[in-house]
Structure 1
Amino acid sequence: MRFPLPALLLAATLTGPALAETPCGGSFSGFITGLKQDAIAQGHSRATVDGFFASVRQDQNALAADRRQGVFTLDFTTFARRLISKNRMDHGQANARKYQSTFDRIERDFGVSPGVLLAFWAFETDFGAVQGDFNTANALVTLAHDCRRPHLFRPQVLAAIDLYARGDFDPARTTGAWAGEIGMVQMLPKDILENGVDGDGDGHVSLKTSAPDALMSGGKMLQHLGWRAGEPWLQEVRVPAQMDWSLSGTDTALPLSQWQAMGVQPRSGQWQAPGLPAKLILPQGRNGPAFVAYPNFDVYFEWNQSFTYVLTAAYFGTRLMGAPVFDAGNPDPVLSGAQMKQLQKKLANRGHDVGKIDGILGAGTRAAVQAEQKRLGLPADAWPTTNLLGKL
């Protein structure tokens, strides 16, 4: 099962100078000629470049997949319960034991906890079982030729040629996700070039077939994205009946002492990092699950930009490290899709930027909900309710 792309792709837009300066479109064969010239200009031999492109074909299925990207519409509790199955828990714990020496090296070299990578490994490819069957070279060249995001995909093609030149990529046989991610933790060619690690010592970085390579590379990539060694990322908490709910969300980080003074307490055990700033995360409002997110939580958004996915992956990482099942609480009911669209229209009419009227509780809609809750004197926890809808 595939999940949203890394932030590199999700953040892409069709505007800006990068797009204007990046060749795209035209005949596919002519486009490949241009790519070959770029690769040769970067130092590759004609034989290497011709060898890479010998089997490359346009892939209409990759284009179709790009245009039907899904967006998470489930609330956090429902989504987490669907993804975090007993099977994934059991496999995660078994793999933690099987690859303990690899995880020990990752913690030593990159400071990343086993639970973090185990969760990504589980969600991205079910521990390597489902890695995608799109021909990677075909997909990357096709998406680079397409004029939606050529400035993102063209460098990935050139990176794939680099991998091919050193014997770590077969353009005829390498397969993965529709947007070019490869291997057990789904990394793009450029990320593999920059962060690939030969974890098993065979002289190659093989993210598709070697768990040590994939895990070590994922750990290095997280470090590259800003992961802070040895620090926690998420901790479940209990919140008081009353507090300034407008301080909750991903924008406000406060010392734990301030959250504690407001009545926020760890649900179990002690504070994991009393000296670190933290954000209060209420994915379903003040009556639902509650967490504090430490600075490392922000790194998840560099890997993926879906709030629900990020929170679920972060929470699953804590579960794999021994945290209890979260308390779902008793949140106000989720608005229906039609109600969410109605709410978004009302918010837009009040001048809020909620993006597309699509019935999805994205970051823009959450921010607008919180602002209107505060204006109306309602608990400003960013969770849309029928009460808010009526008052608007």
Structure 2
Amino acid sequence: MRHFALAALLGLTLIQPAHANIACGGDFASFVQGMKAEAVAQGHDASTVDAFFTSAQYSPAVIKADRAQGVFKKSFVDFSRAVISQNRMDNGRHYGGKYASVFDRVERDYGVSRGVLLAFWALETDYGQVQGNFNTLNALMTLSHDCRRPELFQPQVFAALELFTHGDFDPALTVGAWAGEIGMVQMLPADILENGVDGDGDGHVLLKTSAPDALMSGGKMLHALGWRAGEPWLQEITVPRDLDWSQTGLETKLTVDQWADMGVTARAGSLGAGGLPASVVLPMGRNGPAFLAYPNFDVYFEWNQSFVYVTTAAYFATRLEGAPVFDAGNPDQGLNDDQMKQLQTKLQSRGYDVGDIDGILGARTRSAVRTEQARLGLPADAWPTAALLSKL
């Protein structure tokens, strides 16, 4: 997954991480030598490069974690109920008060509402308590060597090298998530170079130990990714039973006024400004929870590309700002893991790009499901059922 990484080195001219293209796979020691040669070619001193890479090791545990993201196979209701605990709600209120002045600065400078950052802080590291124990350099080098996504991770190694040259990364001791993210809101080194903020004024950007640094940097990153100040991101709604379900999903954006004319209402409070573009999102189909997703919701996918995670994080943010618990409704029975893989295989054979056959109901699979539902005369709500699978 691709999380934001935060933190820039204050007052320094930085070498921007190059887009490396070192051949993946093969002997790991040879790969390390290739990365070292590339680092020197980028202008780094050879002795600095040697010191940075000397402890690099291949980590089978990182590959195992990369291949085992089964948590995202849960439905929205199951996943959200599992991760949004009463303890996390209580701690959200506690930390929201403790760092109120920091959240005020984030809102003033970057336009990001405090519930948004609190939710990420909670879901990523339990407010900084569980930041991961994978050696960051080993994680990045292992994923750079692996041939699944080397183009994503190789530049992160050189970004970490740049942090190292300024004393802000210890290749032997820096630890974090399995995918190389660092700190309280789990950020990648390249993003650390671009958007870091010294939130506590100590002259350093320390995302592992300083909540002000992490929160201010997170706000800056969201702003850079297009967050729109003063606008909502997700809102629970009530939808009429005769809604044109083929119009739902992130691919369709109508104005709030147009949705209201179609019978969509806010479950609590009022809908956003009438001219705002928005999508009706049904994580578990027409009989489950329903939300209106505003432009800021799209920014969430720059943080994490899992539909279930993103929807949960956005909903959690609304809860932390006073929204009620969602109405789970009575969703139709979904598919189990084997059935989901069968469905993805069938969709792929029909020419749809559903990504990996992984059993995860992501955005591309949902889009394909909606199209096939409409073709087969089923309610096109993007929630796959046994009836759809049998018709395919």
* TM-score, scaled relative to structure 1: 0.90
Q: Give the conservation status (yes or no) of the 8 Å contact 2:282–2:291.
A: yes
Structure 2 counterpart of 1:96, one-letter code: G
1:230 lines up with 2:230 in the alignment: yes
Greater mean deviation of Cα atoms: 117-126 or 142-151: 142-151
What SS class does the counterpart of residue 115 from structure 1 fall into?
helix
How far the C-alpha of 1:34 sits from its partner, in A, is 3.2
- Partners in 2 of 1:348 and 1:337 — Cα distance? 16
Matches within 5 A, 1:366-377: 366-377=366-377
1:94 lines up with 2:86 in the alignment: no
CA RMSD of aligned residues (A): 2.2
What SS class does the counterpart of residue 284 from structure 2 fall into?
coil
Q: Deviation per CA, 1:126-162, whole angstroms, max 9, x where unpaired?
A: 1111111111112222322333332222211111111
Q: Deviation per CA, 1:70-100, whole angstroms, max 9, x where unpaired?
A: 3512111111111100000001111100111
- Partners in 2 of 1:7 and 1:212 — Cα distance? 16
- Partners in 1 of 2:166 and 2:341 — Cα distance? 51
Greater mean deviation of Cα atoms: 284-293 or 30-39: 30-39
What SS class does the counterpart of residue 259 from structure 1 fall into?
helix
Task: Summarize the Cα distance change of 1:206–1:237 in structure 2 as closer, same or farther, 3 Å threshold.
Answer: same
1:6 lines up with 2:7 in the alignment: no
- Partners in 1 of 2:164 and 2:143 — Cα distance? 19
How far the C-alpha of 1:205 sits from its partner, in A, is 0.9
Give 4+ residue runs of structure 1 displaced > 6 Å after superposition: none
Structure 1 counterpart of 2:203, one-letter code: G
Q: Taking CA–CA contacts closer than 8 Å with sequence separation of 6 or more, which of the two structures ends up with the larger relative contact order?
A: 2
- Partners in 2 of 1:186 and 1:257 — Cα distance? 37
- Partners in 2 of 1:347 and 1:31 — Cα distance? 37
- Partners in 2 of 1:174 and 1:76 — Cα distance? 33
Structure 1 counterpart of 2:195, one-letter code: N
Q: Give the unaligned 5+ runs of structure 2.
A: 6-18
Q: Deviation per CA, 1:192-226, whole angstroms, max 9, x where unpaired?
A: 01111111111111111111111111111111211
Q: Give the conservation status (yes or no) of the 8 Å contact 2:58–2:142.
A: yes
Matches within 5 A, 1:147-226: 147-226=147-226
- Partners in 1 of 2:2 and 2:44 — Cα distance? 29
How far the C-alpha of 1:30 sits from its partner, in A, is 3.7
Partner residue of 1:301? 301
Greater mean deviation of Cα atoms: 349-358 or 306-315: 349-358
Task: Summarize the Cα distance change of 1:347–1:135 in structure 2 as closer, same or farther, 3 Å threshold.
Answer: closer
Partner residue of 2:13? none
Partner residue of 2:113? 113
- Partners in 1 of 2:59 and 2:74 — Cα distance? 31
How far the C-alpha of 1:348 sits from its partner, in A, is 4.8
How far the C-alpha of 1:352 sits from its partner, in A, is 4.2
Task: Summarize the Cα distance change of 1:154–1:368 in structure 2 as closer, same or farther, 3 Å threshold.
Answer: closer
What SS class does the counterpart of residue 272 from structure 2 fall into?
coil
Task: Summarize the Cα distance change of 1:154–1:127 in structure 2 as closer, same or farther, 3 Å threshold.
Answer: same
Identity %: 67
How far the C-alpha of 1:185 sits from its partner, in A, is 0.5
Partner residue of 2:325? 325
What SS class does the counterpart of residue 292 from structure 1 fall into?
strand
How far the C-alpha of 1:362 sits from its partner, in A, is 2.8
Q: Give the conservation status (yes or no) of the 8 Å contact 1:232–1:273.
A: no
Q: Give the unaligned 5+ runs of structure 1.
A: 9-17
Partner residue of 1:124? 124
- Partners in 2 of 1:355 and 1:51 — Cα distance? 39
- Partners in 2 of 1:30 and 1:339 — Cα distance? 42
Greater mean deviation of Cα atoms: 241-250 or 217-226: 217-226
- Partners in 1 of 2:353 and 2:146 — Cα distance? 29
- Partners in 2 of 1:122 and 1:116 — Cα distance? 10
- Partners in 1 of 2:364 and 2:186 — Cα distance? 28
Structure 1 counterpart of 2:372, one-letter code: E
Greater mean deviation of Cα atoms: 327-336 or 203-212: 327-336
Structure 1 counterpart of 2:173, one-letter code: R
- Partners in 2 of 1:390 and 1:58 — Cα distance? 44
Task: Summarize the Cα distance change of 1:353–1:48 in structure 2 as closer, same or farther, 3 Å threshold.
Answer: closer
